[in-house]
Amino acid sequence: MIREFIDKDLFEIEVNNSFGEGDLMEKLKPVIAMYEGWTLENHGAVKAILFYRAYAPQHYEGFLVCSVYMSAFDGQEIREYIRKLADKLDIRRIETLSLDCDELNRWHRFLGFVCEGTKCRFLNGRNYRMWAILRER
């Protein structure tokens, strides 16, 4: 079930820090005030939190915080939610940024994103990929 995000979700999710710096939740606290958030919850466990915001009319950027317990079925629910949200808000472009690694690259392709390029040595000397979903009218 996807529901509106509430602040306590940040403390209830067991974050998958495989690709982060380990203190992700502390870094997110001041940032999330600028985003709208939706939480994927199954059987009382927070599996993922989707944050997004408009930066121009019909153009959005966002990111997903995933739990270590997120399953393939949860991923399918997130993918479908992104599609429905794009229809509801008449989104033309959705973009995100992620660490360049095989697992995350497969994940973004599964969600429907296309890689638009790489930011070389972007953060902490690591490469990041720029991803987007472009929708036609």
Number of separate domains in the chain: 1
Please tell me whether residue 32 adopts helix, strand or coil conformation: helix
pLDDT of residue 28 exceeding 80:
no
Q: For residue 107, give its domain range.
A: 2-134
Q: Say which CATH number the domain at 14 has.
A: 3.40.630.30
Q: What is the pLDDT of residue 25?
A: 67
- Which of the two residues, 95 and 137, has the higher pLDDT score? 95
pLDDT tens readout for residues 69-105: 999 899 999 999 999 999 999 999 999 999 999 999 9
Q: What is the pLDDT of residue 89?
A: 95
Write out the DSSP string of 80-128. Answer: HHHHHHHHHHT-SEEEEEEE--HHHHHHHHHHT-EEEEEEEEEETTEEE
Write the Ramachandran bin of 18: left for phi over 0, alpha for psi from -120 to 50, otherwise beta: alpha
Q: With cut-offs at 50, 70 and 90, classify the pLDDT of residue 27.
A: confident
Q: What is the pLDDT of residue 23?
A: 65
